Every structure is written in structure tokens, then in C-alpha cells.
Structure 1
């Protein structure tokens, strides 16, 4: 069954979500209060609509309750973001993801029932900072305030050693969940197979343990 989404707010963030969902084969209703933005997505989204999503009657007339997931990507108008979230919960939308401007905005969104809250600018800043600070860190994804998934390039210091040789789980409390080798992704890699230079380790663990591993093993 084809997935159906609604994206509210067609700025850079919301617009990129619409385009990627469409590329992935999903049906997408794109909504914004600004007609020029809606016109831009008229030939991209399955349906593009000009609407004020703080108006409950407007939301009901669009049949949004029938969509399985609504993404609220409203830009700087925090009040509209909160009111839209509240309206969607009241009309019975199953899953709502909302872009937050700050931590206070997130607290309110969670209290009124948002299923997922994202901070794209903050999260991208964290990823870029981690990439900049270490030549070995290729990507970084925050899972919570204390845990992350990180991609680390194998350097000369650990190339030729196996996972069991490095004893990473026991020494550092982190787990290698996969190894990227060229275009191949090796899930649950063999612990006795030597790592190759420029392999990429996909590691999950507490931030403090990941940083300790980076400092002692990769620096």
C-alpha cells in the first residue's frame, strides 16, 4: 500500500522533505499559507494546497485525518506551529512530526501530543562540528542527549587489527553494528576479520564512550 503524507510549511526544510518523499514513491499533500510557495510545488507534490492550518475547518475539509503521517515544517511562526499541532491531534491524526525552533518550543509540542520533534538546524550543527573536529568522523547522528550513532574511518593505527583484537565493546562500552567497505555494508561483521585501511565503522554507544574511543584509539 502506497504511503501518504502531508507536509505543512514549504520552506527549505519542508520543501526538501516533500521532494524526497515524492522521490521515494510516496503520495504527498503539500500545504502552505503562501500561494507562491504552493505554486512552486504544484508539479512536484501529489497535491499542493493553499491553506491556513490553524483553522480547524480548513484542516477537516482537506481530509487530513485520513493521512498516516503529517510533518509540520512551519518556519519561524511558533504560534502557528503549536496551534496546527493541537488542531491535528484534536481531529485524530495518527502520527505528527514537528520542526521545533528551540527547547521551549519542543516542550510545548510534546505536552500537546507531537509524536516526534526535530531540530534540523541544531542537529546539522552538531553533525558538522563532529565532522570538523575529527578527520576520522564521517557522520554523526544523535539518538538522545547521551547516545549517538557515528561513522568512523579506520586509520593506520587500527588497520590490520580485528574487532576482537581491539576489544572495543569491553574496553569502551560501544558496539560496532556494521562495517562499510567500498560500496558494501557488512552487518554484524566477523569479529576475527582484520579491518582494512579506510573501512568505515558504524558505531553505537554513549557519547562519553565514543569520545573516549576516538581520543585513545584514533587520535
Structure 2
């Protein structure tokens, strides 16, 4: 699997959460903020952490932002900086831009100028968004505690046509499949010989570290 490159602009509470989770998943992350103290805090977490003004097109070019596959604009209360940064990223041809919106008006402007995805951190957890960024097959992510979560994933080719016995998810990863959704039907507490098909939605519960291994092995497509 080729490793995607990510950048997180703005290391406030939301941006920091995204940055930590992407790094935890083993992704290459460039962390950017204008605050030196915040950048220093993340220099050992992100692959690279730099001080920069994201509204300066030349500064972003110098950082090699054009080589980044997905940029998350997580700027705090400065809506003007958020919009200008998004515009610059669009002009530089970034493939995927996810932007944090402060309010509905901000969201409308971001959609109008071409943001690929707009999120509201008040409604969306950083961890959930980070997982959806990594793979479109990861549909939802709900924290049960600091160390345990429930993940909802879409089955792809790696699971297609295999039974739960074949996949052996509990023994291999320590996770439990608690339900399988197919179209409008939901199979709660599925049996070991139940077959999974591509497009099915699988609900899995387990420790975060076990879920990470499960996702990397069976969910994230090569």
C-alpha cells in the first residue's frame, strides 16, 4: 500500500487530535502552525512540524505542500485565515482538502470555494474524522473509553465471500464482530459460518490497538 502524505494546518485542540491519530496510524504527517510553542509540542509526534503562515502562498510552496495528498485545515477562530488558506490550497492543486468550519456561514463559503469536505468539530470527533480520512471504507468510529472503540467499516475485496471463521477476526486481532448490515437487513450477533460480501457494513468492537491492526489488515485497501 502506497503511503499517503497528510498535512494538518492549525494545531489547536481539533487539529492536534487529527494529527495525533494520523501519526498513531503510522501516516506521514506535516504539522503546520504559526505558534512556535505548538509546533515544538508536535515535533516528536508528526513526521515534520514547522512554523509557517498558511495564508502566505510562497511559504506553503517552500514547504512542498504540492506534494501532499490530503490537507486538513484546522485553523481556530480566524475564519478569514481559514478561507484564504483553503483558496491557496485549491489554486495549488491539492487533491483533497478537509476544512474545519466555525459555523454554518463559514461552511457555505468553504463549500463555495471548493473545499472537498467541511467538518464541524463540535459534531465530529477528531479521531472519527482521522479514520475516515485514512480510508473511505471506515464509515464511523465511536470511542467507548480511552482505550476501547466501536468501528463501522465497509467490507471490500479482502473480506468478500469469506465467512467469519475464514477471517478469524477475534483470534487474529482480538476484536469482536457484533453485527453485519446488508442493505436494509442487520444481523446482530452473527454466526461463525455467516458469509461477508463486499459492500456489507461490519460493526466491530475492541481495544483501539486491536482495531488499528484489524483496519490495516482487512479494511484499508492496497
Whether these two folds match at TM > 0.5 is yes
- Give 1:188 deviation, angstroms: 3.8
Structure 1 residues 192 and 76, CA gap change in structure 2 (3 angstroms): closer
**Counterpart in the other structure of 2:45:** 44
Structure 1 residues 195 and 105, CA gap change in structure 2 (3 angstroms): same
Ranked by relative contact order (alpha carbons within 8 Å, sequence separation 6 or more), the top structure is 2
- Work out the number of aligned pairs and report it: 145
- Mapped to 1, the partners of 2:58 and 2:186 lie a distance apart of 62
Q: Residue 60 of structure 2 aligns to a residue in which SS?
A: helix
**Counterpart in the other structure of 1:53:** 54
Alpha-carbon RMSD: 2.9
**Counterpart in the other structure of 2:137:** none
Give the alignment of 1:157-172 within 5 angstroms: none
- Mapped to 2, the partners of 1:3 and 1:10 lie a distance apart of 20
- Give 1:186 deviation, angstroms: 3.3
- Give 1:195 deviation, angstroms: 7.0
CA deviations 1:136-169 (Å, max 9, x no partner) are xxxxxxxxxxxxx8x9xxxxxxxxxxxxxxxxxx
Structure 1 residues 13 and 192, CA gap change in structure 2 (3 angstroms): closer
Q: Residue 80 of structure 2 aligns to a residue in which SS?
A: helix
- Mapped to 2, the partners of 1:192 and 1:30 lie a distance apart of 40
**Counterpart in the other structure of 1:107:** 108
**Counterpart in the other structure of 2:5:** 4
**Counterpart in the other structure of 2:151:** none
Structure 1 residues 123 and 5, CA gap change in structure 2 (3 angstroms): closer
- Give 1:120 deviation, angstroms: 1.3
Residue 9 of structure 2 contacts residue 33 of structure 2 at CA under 8 Å; is this kept in 1?
A: yes
Give the alignment of 1:98-137 within 5 angstroms: 98-123=99-124
Given the alignment of the two structures, is residue 185 of structure 1 paired with residue 175 of structure 2, yes or no? no
Q: What TM-score comes out, normalization by structure 1 length?
A: 0.60
- Mapped to 2, the partners of 1:26 and 1:13 lie a distance apart of 18
Q: Segments of 4+ in structure 1 off by > 2 A? A: 182-186, 191-196
- Mapped to 1, the partners of 2:114 and 2:73 lie a distance apart of 13
- Mapped to 2, the partners of 1:6 and 1:18 lie a distance apart of 8
Task: Could you tell me which runs of 5 or more consecutive residues in structure 2 were left unpaired when the two chains were aligned.
Answer: 126-139, 143-174, 191-201, 204-222
- Mapped to 1, the partners of 2:38 and 2:16 lie a distance apart of 9
CA deviations 1:22-60 (Å, max 9, x no partner) are 111100000000000000001110000000000000011
- Mapped to 2, the partners of 1:56 and 1:103 lie a distance apart of 26
CA deviations 1:120-143 (Å, max 9, x no partner) are 11446xxxxxxxxxxxxxxxxxxx
**Counterpart in the other structure of 2:91:** 90
- Mapped to 2, the partners of 1:18 and 1:9 lie a distance apart of 10
**Counterpart in the other structure of 1:137:** none
